[in-house]
Chain A
Amino acid sequence: MNFQTSKKTVNLSKEIWPMVRQYYAWAKEKQKAGKKVVWTVGLGPNELFHAFGSVPIFLEQYSIVMAGRHQVTKYLEMAENLGFSRDSCSYNRALIGYAMEPDGLLIPKPDFIMATATPCDSSNKSFLNLVSRLGVPYYHLDVPFNRMTGGEVETHQVNYVENQLRELVSFLEKETGFPLAEERLNEVVELANRADELWTKISELRKAIPCPMTVADEMGLAYPLFQLPGTKQAVEFYERLLEEVSERVRKGEGAIPQERYRILWLGPAAWYHLRVLNYVEDYGGVLVKSDFDYLIRGKISPENPLRGMAEKTILGLLNGVVENRIQLARQFVREYRINGVIAFSHFGCRQYGGGQRAVKDALFEEFGIPTLILEGDNIDERNYADDQVRSRIEDFISLMM
């Protein structure tokens, strides 16, 4: 199989991989200089770690990088050799593999680990395996399932998570040896909010026809949003991105010469073969937007940062009733003038996979547009069948004709 990365439309996309590599190298240096490295998940309050001057490593994102470099299979096999089923989530298997050989990684070993119950409980279970292998302190943030819709959160749930975040602050104070500097926290929150605001503006621009920035770009460009919230680097990067995308809109530059179909992508992608994100372009289709960035989005209240972080975490797209995903998809279809939807369903994922049918039915009922549910693995390239994927996409295009 000839795996390929995606074709990008935005120049700044080229800076993502160097940025990731630099971050990992920087993390190793920081650790040598005495800063603490925390292995964590992307969907937690990463702002807090930046506020403490510690270095969060979002491990699923590391798996994404390793999948893109075709180096993740080794770690998957290591976990499988221990007896973990190939039918289980590959992200979880990869984590266990990393912990078995933590010295050979691009990232530094953790000084402590923090995981959340979002998007799934099973990641907590695999983190426990890491904790026992690496013998480092662990904090588990229990995020309750959001039963509300329309961006609402239940007060008792926010209280519950906020209290844990206070506990996490004490944990971090103990592990880093420094008390939380409130000024620094406020600064981090302000930077995180600015990055989020910029991302919103960029997303607004993507409603333009032709589409100035595709999902092939978005998948990489969302990286600072997850890994670097609350840093100047993220803000400066998105300021430049906003400029470039505005320029493209002004000049009327799109991904392909003539857009026939504007397509919404739901979920992450096959990271080892991102070229899939360009397949629709052969038929005049463009992937204009994904819901991937909404895994964790939103502003943090500057008046009460910990409470704000609690709300943001609870509101993560996969941490709640499917109605929220339906509402978001509806909004995208209307605002981005969508003709069809591709939902990527990661093998073994009960979060994204579960509920896609409901999204599909709701969109068909309201707009009469088709949804292709594409099944595959996000990082395990051994399960990938390109001919099948191509055929599915070709057939899906014919549904929009």
Chain B
Amino acid sequence: MFFAGVDVGSLSADAAIIDNGKIVAYSVLPTGGDSTQAAYKAMEVALNQAALKLEDIVYTVATGYGRVNVPFAKENITEITCHARGAHWLIPSTRTILDMGGQDCKAIRCDEKGNVADFAMNEKCAAGTGRYLEIIAEVLEMRLEEIGPRSLEAKEEVGISSACAVFARSEVLSLVRKGVPKNDVLGGIHQAIVHRVHALIMRVGIEKDFIITGGIAKNIGVVRRLEKRMGLDAKIPGEPQIVGALGAALFAEERFHSGIQNGKGGI
């Protein structure tokens, strides 16, 4: 039986389909302006991958900030809960999760069963998130994949004082104009992000194993610096962007089975 989870985030819409305790398909697509459309698209891509139709999915759970706009989902569950579930399923030793998404960043601490024990999120500011790094990559005319590795080649990390994504853009521009090497600028930018998210993690308290998920988990510059600062190694799932969708799919399976037990015919 196939179960699906859809995570409609601010920048990406992700879907995951599971069957019998295995991930059979997943997708990561840009959300764009219409989150309902994005949810359908993400689902369609995943369905095609597994050669399935929407009718083949017995139960779908939606998560992410656009979770209420997913018509084909039977239920929606918040992203914190889904992330903890997904991360714990992938890496059962997970206790602390840092999810760095498109426009928000969250630290989650969970117990040995994957239940959320505490969480903290960034408020009213996009610094330390994917959008921030996208802006920096644009200003430096680099590809997003490029900036993490390049930041590690910095000879000297420039101090970036702006915590604000918009002001950081001007700060970076003026540094580049002054002739500061791009790698050094990137070093400073990455360090600034690490300072911010570290404070967030400390709010929930750190416990091993420490997992990083979300798009920024793919940025080696952030990951290495964070590991250094915290004095421990981070574990990163093979596809860090689908952890929320995966958690939602796992909940879909669980809800379906508990529905049968309650005599609700699976729904």
Contact = CB atoms under 8 A, between A and B. Distances in A.
Interface stretch (B54-62, B112-120, B179-187, B189-197): B112-120
Contacts of B123: 375, 388
A385 interface: yes
Interface string A378-401: 000001010110011011001101
A370 interface: yes
Interface in B80-132: 80-81, 115-121, 123-124
A385 B124 contact: yes
Interface string B128-161: 0000000000000000000000000000000000
Interface residues of B, number: 15
Contact of B79 (A357, A375, A391): A391
B167 interface: no
Contacts of B117: 370, 399
B121 A398 contact: no
A53 B260 CA distance: 70
A391 B124 contact: no
A392 B118 CA distance: 11
A398 B80 contact: yes
Contact of A395 (B65, B80, B124): B80
B78 interface: yes
Which one of A375, A387, A395, A398 has the highest number of Cβ atoms from chain B below 10 Å of its Cβ? A395
Interface residues on A, range: 10 to 19
Contacts of B118: 370, 399
Which one of A373, A385, A388, A398 has the highest number of Cβ atoms from chain B below 10 Å of its Cβ? A398
Contacts of A383: 124
Interface string A345-386: 000000000000100000000000010010100000001010
Given A375-B123, A398-B80, A391 B116 contact: no
Contacts of B124: 375, 383, 385
A249 B78 CA distance: 35
Contacts of B65: 387, 391
A117 to B, nearest CB: 29
Contacts of A392: 121
B211 to A, nearest CB: 18
A373 B78 CA distance: 17
A89 to B, nearest CB: 16
A310 B11 CA distance: 56
A391 B119 CA distance: 12
Which one of B121, B124, B203 has the highest number of Cβ atoms from chain A below 10 Å of its Cβ? B124
Interface in A211-241: none
B126 to A, nearest CB: 12
Given A370-B118, A387-B65, A391-B65, A398 B79 contact: no
B78 A399 contact: no
Contact of B119 (A385, A395, A401): A395
A399 B121 contact: no
Nearest to B124: A383
A135 to B, nearest CB: 38
A388 B122 CA distance: 10
A394 B67 CA distance: 13
Contacts of A375: 123-124
Contacts of A398: 78, 80-81, 116
Nearest to B68: A387
A394 B116 contact: no
A385 B121 CA distance: 13
A208 to B, nearest CB: 30
Contacts of B80: 391, 395, 398
A102 B116 CA distance: 50
Nearest to B120: A373
A388 B120 CA distance: 12
Contacts of B115: 401
Contacts of A401: 115
A387 B64 CA distance: 11
Contacts of B79: 391
A385 B10 CA distance: 15
A388 B119 CA distance: 14
Which one of B79, B119, B123 has the highest number of Cβ atoms from chain A below 10 Å of its Cβ? B123
Interface string B164-207: 00000000000000000000000000000000000000010000
A383 B117 CA distance: 28
A366 to B, nearest CB: 16
A383 B125 CA distance: 11
A28 B248 CA distance: 59
A233 B67 CA distance: 49
A377 B134 CA distance: 30
Contacts of A388: 121, 123
A392 B123 CA distance: 11
A370 B119 CA distance: 10
Nearest to A361: B205
A357 B117 CA distance: 15
A388 B121 CA distance: 10
Contacts of B78: 391, 394-395, 398
B199 to A, nearest CB: 12
A399 B109 CA distance: 11
B9 to A, nearest CB: 12
B97 to A, nearest CB: 13
Nearest to A345: B123
A388 B10 CA distance: 12
A392 B121 CA distance: 9
Contacts of A370: 117-118
A232 to B, nearest CB: 45
Interface in B34-57: none
A336 to B, nearest CB: 22
B196 to A, nearest CB: 15
Given A373-B120, A385-B124, A387-B65, 7 more contacts: A375-B124, A383-B124, A391-B65, A391-B78, A395-B81, A395-B119, A399-B118
5 contacts: A357-B203, A373-B120, A399-B116, A399-B118, A401-B115
In order of increasing CB-CB distance, the 9 nearest A-B pairs are A395-B80, A394-B78, A395-B78, A375-B123, A398-B81, A391-B78, A399-B116, A398-B116, A395-B119
